Homo-oligomer: A and B are copies of this chain.
Amino acid sequence: MTAINPKIRLFVEGAFHAGAVIPLAEDQAHYLLSVMRSADGTPLALFNGQDGEWLGTLSVISKKKAEVRLVEPRKPQVGTPDVWYVFAPLKHGRIDFIVQKATELGASALLPVMTARTIASRVNADRLLANAIEAAEQSERLEVPVVRDVEPLTKVLAAWPEDRVLLYGDESGNGLSPLELFAQLPADIAKWGVLVGPEGGFTPDEFALLTNKKFARPISLGPRVLRADTAGLAALTAVMAWRGDWDKKPRFEG
């Protein structure tokens, strides 16, 4: 390990080993060459989701093209808690915000779902992924969450794995508080999901469907009415703090 501490951290695809040359995507090359004006030889931190974080150096090929030459490993790959974040997409660009925050907080997968009262009718999966990658790069994550295509909530629930506990926001008074809920749930649960509805909430039919699923548990986030995005991030925070990896510290390099 060297004392070099790169200022820029990028997610790239390809196997990592010393001397490997990884081509950069067009937008990454543009960012480095035109926005950051990085020179040939600039040190970079790279991760690919499986080989930990590596030190690399920039090789400029042309004004718009660049690649990275891998030097040596910086950090070993470590796991992130397995928590799926299931959310009804919101309009007005607030979906970008949700994806960024959920990625920082450590969601392992992002599942946009259509519910009866969901207003947004289309989801730009490329944009979700771009936001998730950027948030992973900035939050020192070693992997990017899986971004799933949008599906109806009913379909996601029908295919839901029985051993994955799904916490869904319920403001009707049926939910348990995080303190109560995590005291009740078995200590060895390894797979989680958090589900938040649209601004208008779930319909009675959707609540009935959720109530009938053994894996689904209502969670109550206090007496104030939280907006959908706030509720989702609060529930994700609770899972990470109680049952995730918040006992671990950030892995800073000198």
A residues whose Cβ falls under 8 Å from a Cβ of B: 78, 80, 97, 100-101, 104-106, 138-141, 171-173, 175, 177-180, 220-227, 230, 233-234, 237-238, 240-242, 244-252
Contacts and interface: CB of A to CB of B under 8 A. Distances in A.
Counted per complex, copies of this chain come to 2
Contacts of A233: 230, 233-234, 237
B226 A178 contact: no
A104 to B, nearest CB: 5
A104 B224 contact: yes
A245 B222 contact: yes
- The listed residue with most B CB atoms (<10 A of its CB), out of A173, A226, A242, is A226
Given A221-B246, A247-B180, A172 B238 contact: no
A49 B175 CA distance: 27
A241 B178 contact: yes
A80 B223 CA distance: 9
B249 A106 contact: no
B104 A230 contact: yes
Given A242-B179, A247-B179, A173 B252 contact: yes
Contacts of A252: 171-173
B138 A225 contact: yes
9 contacts: A104-B227, A139-B224, A140-B223, A140-B225, A222-B248, A223-B249, A223-B250, A224-B250, A234-B237
- The listed residue with most B CB atoms (<10 A of its CB), out of A222, A240, A248, is A222
Contact of A246 (B172, B173, B177, B247): B177
Contacts of A222: 106, 240-241, 244-246, 248, 250
Contacts of A140: 223-225
Contacts of A100: 227
- The listed residue with most B CB atoms (<10 A of its CB), out of A141, A173, A246, is A246
A226 B78 CA distance: 17
A8 to B, nearest CB: 15
Given A177-B246, A223-B248, A223-B250, 14 more contacts: A97-B97, A104-B224, A104-B226, A104-B227, A105-B234, A138-B225, A139-B224, A172-B250, A222-B246, A222-B248, A224-B250, A233-B233, A233-B237, A237-B238
